[in-house]
Amino acid sequence: MRWHLLDALTEVVPGQHARGRARTAFPDELFADHFPSFPIVPGVLVIEAGAHLGGFLVMASVHAALGHMVFPVLSIIREAKLRRFVPPGTPLLLEATLDTLRPESALCHITASGLDGHRHATMQLIFAFEPGGGVPGGDRDRLRRFVDAELERLQSPWRPAATAAGD
C-alpha cells in the first residue's frame, strides 16, 4: 500500500489510535467537473485518505501484538458520512481508532477534520489481511522495503522492528 494521500503520520499508538495529515492539493483537472465554479474534493478521496491511516494503524497494531507484518486491504466501508465540503488544498487532520482486531480483519473508526476543528467526514472501515502476514503472489521482502520507505517519507514516529523471520 502506498499512502499517497497522507502527508505525515504524527502519532501512532498500536492497538489504540493513529493520527496524521492528509493532503487535498490535486491537479486542477480533477476539479474541472467536480464541480464547475464550486470545486470540492471527491468524497471517495477523503474516504481513501482515511483508509490509508486506518490500514497503517492495523499494520502497526498486528505487528505490536504478534510480532509480524500484515498488509491490510480495505474490504468494507461499513459507514461513511461526508459532513462538510472539502475545498481543494484544505489540510485534513485524520484520526483512526482501532475498534476491533481479529486474526484476519480489523474495524477502525476514522475522523477527518479541518484545522478549524470542524469534522468533514467520519467512517467505519473494515480491513482484511492474511493472518500470518503472507502476500499471496507477491514478494514479501520487496513489499517490506516499500513500506519502510513510505514510513520514512511520512516521518512516522513508529517503525516496525525487524524480526528473526525477516519482518
Domains annotated for the chain, with CATH where assigned, are 6-153 (3.10.129.10)
Distance CA 55, CA 2 (A): 10
Whole-number pLDDT of residue 112: 98
Whole-number pLDDT of residue 164: 42
For residues 109-145, b (16+ Cβ closer than 10 Å) or e, as one string?
bbbbbeeeeeebbbbbbbbebeeebebeeeeeeeebe
Whole-number pLDDT of residue 20: 97
Strand segments, DSSP code E, in the chain are 6-13, 17-22, 73-82, 92-101, 105-113, 119-128
Whole-number pLDDT of residue 167: 54
Considering the entire predicted model, what is its pTM?
0.91
Whole-number pLDDT of residue 32: 86
Catalytic (active-site) positions: 34
Whole-number pLDDT of residue 137: 77
Whole-number pLDDT of residue 120: 97
pLDDT 10s digit of each residue in the chain, 167 long? 557 899 999 999 999 999 999 989 888 888 888 888 899 999 999 999 999 999 999 999 999 999 888 999 999 999 999 999 999 999 999 999 999 999 999 999 999 999 999 999 999 999 999 998 877 777 888 888 888 999 999 999 998 876 544 45
